[in-house]
Structure 1
Amino acid sequence: MPEGAYPVTMSMIVPIKGEFEKAIPVLETLQAAGFEAYFVGGSVRDALLGKSVNDVDIATSAFPEEIKKLFNKTVDVGIEHGTVMVLLEGESYEVTTFRTESTYQDYRRPDSVTFVRSLEEDLKRRDLTINAFAMDNEGRIQDFFDGEKDLKQQIIRAVGKPEERFNEDALRMMRAVRFASQLGFHLEADTFYAIVVNAHLLENIAVERIQVEFVKMAMGDYLLQGMEALFTTNLYQYCPGLKHGKLALRRFSLIPAKLKKERHVWALLLYFLGIQNPKEGQAILRHWRLSNKIISDSVQLLELILYRHHLPLNHYIVYRYTPTLIWEAEELLEVIKLPSDKQTAAKLINTIPILERDEIDIDGKAIMNVVNARGGRWLGEAIAMAEKAVVLGAVENDQQAILNWLQKYKYI
């Protein structure tokens, strides 16, 4: 990553604007009552990097019940962990009490949390130095772990002892490589080594949580950097279906364009894994605990990519897979440096006679009236042939024209 790619604000006051400005009344209310209150975490990191901030998290020395007394509308979203949602002026803000955490028995959750009044003690439990910032209502930065220095040097470093952080929550290892992909930073040596040693702990983490980090990594601006970290730390071996997929992942890592949709990630992952059978692709994606919609769309994109290796598009393929997936498949062909034909795709999409079965001007009742016969398998086959003929332009989408066509070719 080029030096100076991010305009890091070093030891300066960050301008209070946008989402920070909206949330200032929350901080001021807490401070007026004698409590400390700060913006924390990723929003502060992004502000220091000059990136847009979409939401903010607030940490305070006030305990949950004390927070609730100060605001008219609150929701207990995680009060056992110190988090209260404050509803103010049409916005919602998660406000969390400073806390420390006990030992972790399952590499996922602390056995207990203890509320404290110390900001530094709270920030000690954060995963990475670049996520352990706090910022007050005037934009002044609190940085106990040299996070700003690591931002400037483009380093991903665990807070404190890396092995302790990863034994507390093994998902933090995936977060580290995800940030390598999103920011283009590299893993600090001790942090890297601790991930290599503890990569197996990822087996204790719910697949759904791993999946979220994998997708974010795969859609990062610096995919090659993130994937290289995934390989060299051996974390990939503990991701569903990837234990023997290092070569496929290396090919995936060379994708030259930033992926925009989650289904693109899974479709190309299946493609580089060499999956030819849709059912096999579905089985792999089910292991990742994906939604049925994502699985269906991803596998259909894979089918289209494989189809387009050998055959051109036609109206029936557009009809079967929907215009949206057709267009995205052509884009993915470009991404993986295979011949695509967006011009033909656009023409077919714009001229297709129907897009859904219920648009066809024929039904089973009309056909049975003509042949004076009861329904059966033959009827479904006749409607299917009529549907295909209309889509391909072999017959006009008109009831009488379709009936004549079915009789002419002896489908009824």
Structure 2
Amino acid sequence: MDISKLRDIKDWLVDGARSAATPSQMMSECCDRLLRLGVPLWRVGVFVRTLHPDIAGRSFIWRQGAEVEMGTVDFGFESTPAYTDSPLALVFEHGGEFRADPRSPEAERFPILMDLRAEGVTDYLTLPMTFIDRAVHASSWTTKSPGGFTDEQLNAIRSLMPALARYTEIITLRRTASMLLDTYVGNSAGERILGGQIRRGHTDTLDAAIWLSDLRGFTPLSDRLPAEDVVEILNQYFDCQVDPIREQGGEVLKFMGDGLLAVFPIREQDGDPTEVCGRVLTAARASRARVDALEYAVRDNGERFRFGVALHVGRLLYGNIGGGNRLDFTCIGPAVNLAARLEKMAARLKRTVVASEAFAAACPEPWTDLGEFPIAGLAKEQRVFGLREEES
């Protein structure tokens, strides 16, 4: 085996595998290089635990002559037979390597080895990938070579682990940072923060449709129910809105108690306010239907819920606002203030959906003119519109 070429692979990984734009491409190129070096690989897997609200881990599977397959596992996977009856569980829990011949009788206790036996695999090796924080992740290596891996080939694979772990750790940390920003501040804000917009006062102007909603009767509800029930109700209630908002191109910026602030950006060059506001109203109707269908069992009774949403369109200021080294990436401006005031009007008018005059003008729907009303903080009364379908 050419030791200099093996060193080249290690150096390539440590240098960030720059010729590979994605982790999948890195897997493919790394395995192809090992094949050319004389390591007879058949199937290689990398398994990484993640910090994600919905996903417990990710997998990358390379097979000779095929595209890299990416997969995810949900929380609770570690209690399933697919995990407990896998050699990977030994690596994750004990941090050591595991090697077996899938053709041997002792391999029959692992279903994955039986599947690999059927494919003609003759050797199976799992190795830990240890990150700097000592968290253990895993990799698996197989061959169809009649005699399995030679000692020289095994040592070559083992020698790659530190470099592969460093590359995987860096990619995982970047993905985690991006995912956490998306989770807590939204996709657009997350991209801006990662792009370097982290100084206080760094703001942009944005034309957008604005969504501001809250749950009706939340205060008395939270007073008479256990805190755990209130949290569960809020989570289910927000689920009723977040999916429709995202499906229609909106971005949830903030949860404020039982309130939700979202924006639907209108592109400066070719954005169509009518099209954007139409999508906003589609999301509002879908959310209304979901909240109407929401029922939460408390003791022997079923709690039913109502919410109100105010829709407006205008220009807002979008960026970093805060004090000291504690910042919030949010939006402010007269347009947001008006949406907040209109949301209070929804309850007063016993409406689920209310809209400003600007939103109603941009969205040709069967609106009902509810009249002009004084709005706190504004010198001029504002005309408010409601959906005609809600008149009953």
TM > 0.5 fold call? no
TM superposition score normalised by structure 2: 0.27
Q: More strand by proportion, 1 or 2?
A: 2
Higher relative contact order (CA 8 A, sep 6+): 2
Q: TM-score, normalised by structure 1?
A: 0.26
**Greater share of helix:** 1
